[in-house]
Structure 1
Amino acid sequence: MKVFKTSQSLAEFLSNETRPLGMVPTMGALHLGHLSLIERALQENQSVLISIFVNPTQFNDKKDLINYPNSIDEDLLQIEKISEKILVYLPKADDVYGNIVEAKSFDLAGLDQMMEGEKRSGHFQGVATVVAHFLKTFSPDRAYFGEKDFQQLLIIDHINRSLKLKTKIIGCPVVREKDGLAMSSRNSLLTADQRKQASKLFEGLQIAKSNAKKVPYRSLKIMVNAFFEKHNKITLDYFIIADPNTLKEIDLEQPVHQGRAFIAAYLGKIRLIDNLDMS
């Protein structure tokens, strides 16, 4: 395993590295979901690059940035156990942004106007800034992202195409705990009681899917909201079923024959998200 602290040293090394190159951008605090992305990248590429960078411009709440899980030493041990051939990019903010740490402004085709984009102002401009920088600088042949952050995945794919980059963006299925909770770095911040309650997000999605074709979407929303009202230790932020390509909310008066359900909820101050294909 080789660790690089600067983009210049990494780019120079990559100029002689065997292609194809697969990249897995992360913010660290690695879990089995991340590891599944790394494993797939290893299967499909000759070389694999993992970035660990907690991107400050995608946090609209400074407290959230400060409290974000940090386990660099453990992350590196996990990566090394998978393969000693993996390359790791571990930059500081100034290596990514230079002297001024701020997000650029991208045309995100309206994909940032709902759900996480509405709730977290500027979040996706920050994501787009750092991912575009990585793809331009290192030119991976493939880049791997989890479908748990489905809105992010669509936005990254849009940016990749709009900038006419050559990287293939690959979305990978959500990896879940035994009780259905989507794996997330934020899960490590939950108390024992909150962790028990957290599986309710997936339960809510399952209720939606099992009833999707039986009742109009409007009734389905009422049903899911009622489910969360019974469980007052978890606070529903939003539940939306949208077109998986445009993220536009579907017709309230029609049963759900296709689409993707998106959910966000709070457990104390910890906010979790999830999604599920309704077809």
Structure 2
Amino acid sequence: MLEIDRIFPLREQLSSWRQSGQSIALVPTMGNLHAGHLSLVDKAKTVADRIVVTIFVNSIQFVAGEDFASYPRTIGQDRAKLAAIGTDILFHPLEEEIFPESPEQHTTVMVPSLDNIFCGKYRPGHFAGVATVVAKLLNIIQPDVAVFGEKDYQQLLVIKQLVRDLSMPVRIIDSPTVRESDGLAMSSRNIYLNAEERMIAPMLFQVLSRMKDEIINGNSAYTEIEQRAQDELGQAGFATEYVAIRAANNLAEAGTGDLVVLAAARLGTARLIDNVVIRR
């Protein structure tokens, strides 16, 4: 595995692969890799010849009061995990390589229709930060495909929208959420859960799954389903930000097409998000 921290040598290597007819997949991450991240790499290996994983803790997607300074940085362990599963390049740039000037002066990419709803409402500016750095990584690497997890569902839709709107020649591929044995969605921030909270945390997925079952069984009283779920989470100790049933393709009001049931809630110092999709 090559480890590169500068744009110019990265592009030189990618150019040589393209000239030999090899396809390239990108897996962007912020590091502290777990089995969910590694599943994205495995997915990428099924659709491209060469795999580039990026590790960049993106300061502009953290809002005031969040954990940018304390976000787990485990580059040594991450490097070993990526090498073990056959990653071709680890691109691990310094902030000044991505933002030669201050991040505050950098051009910003925003997807207005998704920017300030749900997670965007509670984390103002977060999705503009994500969209800006993902757009930059896509331009730097120019992959044939990029793989993103379904756990961060709103983020996935933001990225698909920016690729469509900016006519980027890249295919965005979803990869299913990877869960612990008790159903908790894997997340780098699960380490913030104490032992008691960790016992409670799987209830988020359980509640979403019951909502899905109700809808599949014909209950279309979505507001009532959402409220019951929020009450149940509150009684269990979650500080719920939202529980919502929405159109799966754009998070608009639910219609007759596919749906997504999504939620965000705090449990102690951990902010948990999860979702389940209903195909119909």
TM range (shorter): over 0.9
Aligned residue number for residue 250 of structure 2: 246
The amino acid of 2:200's aligned partner reads: Q
Query: Secondary structure at 2:101's aligned position in 1?
Result: coil
- Aligned-partner residue type, residue 45 of structure 2: L
Counterpart of 1:146 in structure 2 is 149
TM-score by length of 1: 0.93
**Contact kept? 1:240, 1:249, Cα under 8 Å:** no
1:216 paired to 2:218: no
d(CA) in 1 for partners of 2:116, 2:232: 27
Give, in whole Å, the separation in 1 of the partners of 2:226 and 2:2: 49
Across the aligned residues of Structure 1 and Structure 2, the Cα RMSD in angstroms comes to 1.7
**Which of residues 77, 80, 86 is equivalent to 1:77?**
80
* Post-superposition offset of 1:216: 0.6
Q: Does 1:199 align with 2:202?
A: yes
Distance of 1:124 and 1:218 partners within structure 2: 26
Q: Does 1:41 align with 2:44?
A: yes
Residue identity over aligned pairs, in percent, reads 37
Amino acid at match of 2:222: Y
What displacement does 1:113 show?
Answer: 2.4
- SS for the counterpart of 1:76 is helix
1:111-130 aligned within 5 A: 111-130=114-133
TM-score (norm 2): 0.92
Offset of residue 69 of structure 1: 1.6
| Residue in structure 1 matching 2:183, options 173, 180, 185 | 180
1:1-279 equivalences in 2 (<5 Å): 1-18=1-18, 19-83=22-86, 86-102=88-104, 104-212=107-215, 213-214=218-219, 216-232=221-237, 234-250=238-254, 258-279=258-279
Contact conserved, 2:54 with 2:91, CA < 8 A, in 1?
yes
- How far apart are 1:58 and its partner, in Å? 0.3
Shift of 1:222: 2.2
Deviation at 1:161, TM superposition (A): 1.7
C-alpha contact 1:69 1:189 (8 A) present in aligned 2:
no
The secondary structure found in structure 1 opposite 2:16 is: coil
CA contact 1:147–1:153 (8 Å) conserved in 2: yes
Q: What SS does the corresponding residue of 1:274 show, helix, strand or coil?
A: strand
Equivalent position SS for 1:203: helix
Q: Distance in 1 between matches of 2:76 and 2:214?
A: 45
**What letter corresponds to residue 275 of structure 1 in structure 2?**
N
Amino acid at match of 1:44: V
- Counterpart CA distance in 2 for 1:208 and 1:104 is 40
Secondary structure in structure 1 of the residue aligned to 2:273: strand
How far did 1:14 drift? 1.1
Cα-to-partner distance string for 1:119-162 (whole Å, 9 max, x where unaligned): 11111111111111111111000000000011111111111122
Contact 1:69/1:188 (CA < 8 Å) preserved in 2? no
| Offset of residue 42 of structure 1 | 1.5
The question of whether the paired residues in 2 share the 8 Å contact of 1:104 and 1:125 is answered with no
In the alignment, structure 2 segments of 5+ residues that lack a partner are: none
Matched-pair contact (CA < 8 Å) for 1:22–1:44? yes
Q: 1 CA distance for matches of 2:146 and 2:180? A: 24
